[in-house]
Amino acid sequence: MKFVIIGGDAAGMSAASRAKRNSPEMEVTVLEKSMDVSYSACGMPYNIADPLRDIDDLIVRKADVFREQNKINLLTGHRVDKIDPVAKTVSGVIISCSTNSSDPNSSRTKSNTTNINQQDIHNKFSYPFDKLLIATGAEPLIPNLPGFDLAGVMPLKSLEHGRAIKSYLKSVKKAVIIGIGYIGLEMCEALKARSIEVVMVKPGSQFLPWMVPELAKVVKQELDVNGVKTYSGYKIKKIERVRVSDKKDNNNLLAVICENTISNETLILDADIVIVASGVKPCSELAVEAGLETSISGSISVDKSLKTSDDNIYAAGDCADAVHVVTGEKCWIPLALRANRAGWAVADNVCGIETLLTGVAGTAVFKVFDLQIARTGLTVKEAISSGFDAVEVVIHTRSRAHAHPGSEAVHVAMVGDRKTRRLIGVQMVGKDGVAHRINAAAVALHLKMTVEDFFQTDLAYAPPFGPVWDPLLTAANQLLKKL
């Protein structure tokens, strides 16, 4: 069997490795357009924060290891441009040098593998497949506005982005981050760790629209304490290059031109670097052009076996949709665990081992300076729009037993359904004991537990780790009263 995979990161390489373990005789080919495979994208902000660390430390397994030990035909620098479901082929061009020892289906010859030049772009390839996995991931949303193509205006999604940013920061003193989401907030901490002045700006008027206002206020205070300026409700108009002169030197600076969405007042933010962190979108163009069905936010529609609308084609990772365990409906929530798990599931199914994925709860956690921020399930707004009779409580308690050293404030928002009494969502913010507590709520959502069932769970207690009544149990008790 010929198993071809488009994309060589989390879902793609997980599928390739597992397929070879399941069926060593299987011919597995991975086509990756960049030169990087199998790296920890989520670790990039933390790596960037430390100028002494090499960005390549984030590579989990190098390409040659997959080729030599796993016997995977891994072809980097190969960009797929077309999927033909009828002929069962994928085709594209070699866009950069690859370290592959052989590539019989490519028009590239031994004489032109040393340097990247214009001729490389015209070297075409084509591969037949019996089964195909699309694991093309997601790409950053770059506003179609003047100046977003200037040097120093950079997104952060791929390892190559991380390299570019880390190299550029050597001469940076001031940064503007466009967007106040997971990546933007993690990057503001990374930049501050390098003594860079940081300003964050976003067009939406709400600081964190998905978060309960009481909890969002705690996050905003953490940014204020650490000297990060934030501007919500400012639409980006353009970015300009500004020439600044003084007696000592001349520097090319960037100016982010913004406009208040209510007053129309103009705001000009100067920076040496602009980080674009305004979201991502699924890379589903190949699937669309091949006639495959798409779903939420343009993601590729798959069933529980990760199969697309074509029986021979699968999709996994950030390019594909999923089923939400709370609503039972399709959703698009690009997260690392789902990508790796989906890659395994595809490999199993291709090898004849039926594997179905139940879905996701949207569980996520990230940190901003000393603050841990976590969520799982639905917000009250999402719950109402999904047809639930949603009820919400917000509680403030402590992370450890009364008067125990290290105890910190913990803020919990919990959502339940009045009709079924199911637990349907939790948000948590605090400096201690938040990141792993959210997992208990995530398990409850997967099991479709009622709030009362969850309140009755036997959670561990010891003074160094929590109060007798865990913050989640306290929230569940208050929610029961309100239900």
pLDDT in tens, 84-113: 999 999 999 998 644 443 343 333 333 333
What's phi and psi for 342, nearest 5 deg?
A: -65, -35
Q: What is the pLDDT of residue 122?
A: 60
Which CATH superfamily, name and number, covers 142-276? FAD/NAD(P)-binding domain (3.50.50.60)
Mean pLDDT of all residues in 247-258: 74
| Tally of CB atoms within 10 A around 258 | 24
Spatial distance between the Cα atoms of 61 and 65, rounded to a whole number of angstroms: 7
Spatial distance between the Cα atoms of 187 and 193, rounded to a whole number of angstroms: 10
- Beta-carbon contacts of 479 under 8 Å, excluding residues fewer than 6 positions away, are 391, 392, 393, 414, 415, 416, 451
- Distance of alpha carbon 483 from its chain centroid, rounded? 34
Helices (H) and strands (E) in the chain, counts: 12, 25
Spatial distance between the Cα atoms of 14 and 469, rounded to a whole number of angstroms: 40
State the DSSP code for 178. E
> What is the distance between the terminal CA atoms of the chain, rounded to a whole angstrom?
55
Mean pLDDT of all residues in 256-271: 96
Q: What is the pLDDT of residue 160?
A: 95
Residue ranges, CATH 3.50.50.60, the chain: 2-35+42-138+280-350, 142-276
- Partners of residue 133 on adjacent β-strands: 5, 314
Give per-residue burial for 385-420: e unless 16+ CB within 10 Å, then b.
Answer: ebebebbbbebebbbbeeeeeebeebbbbbbbbeee
Q: What is the pLDDT of residue 243?
A: 74
Mean pLDDT of all residues in 358-385: 97
Distances (CA, A) of 441 to 40, 254, 365, 407, 452: 26, 44, 13, 21, 13
Mean pLDDT of all residues in 213-227: 97
Side chain identity at residue 383, one-letter code? A
Q: What is the pLDDT of residue 147?
A: 96
Q: Is 331 among the catalytic positions?
A: no
| Tally of CB atoms within 10 A around 110 | 7
Band the pLDDT of 251: cuts 50, 70, 90.
Answer: low
What's phi and psi for 240, nearest 5 deg?
A: -125, 155
Q: What is the pLDDT of residue 155?
A: 97
The SS3 of residue 131 is strand
pLDDT in tens, 428-457: 999 999 999 999 999 999 999 999 999 999
Structure tokens at 150: 């200037």
Residue ranges, CATH 3.30.390.30, the chain: 364-482
pLDDT in tens, 289-326: 999 999 999 999 999 999 999 999 999 999 999 999 99
CATH number, span 2-35+42-138+280-350: 3.50.50.60
- Listed residue (226, 233, 232, 252) closest to 241, CA to CA: 252
Structure tokens at 392: 């919400």
- Beta-carbon contacts of 449 under 8 Å, excluding residues fewer than 6 positions away, are 422, 423
- Distance of alpha carbon 91 from its chain centroid, rounded? 28
Q: What is the pLDDT of residue 107?
A: 35
Spatial distance between the Cα atoms of 132 and 122, rounded to a whole number of angstroms: 24
Q: What is the pLDDT of residue 112?
A: 34
Band the pLDDT of 393: cuts 50, 70, 90.
Answer: very high
pTM: 0.92
Identify the H or E element spanning 69: none
Task: Please say whether the beta carbons of 394 and 380 come within 8 A.
Answer: no
Q: What is the pLDDT of residue 328?
A: 97
Identify the H or E element spanning 314: strand 313-315
CATH number, span 364-482: 3.30.390.30
Spatial distance between the Cα atoms of 317 and 309, rounded to a whole number of angstroms: 17
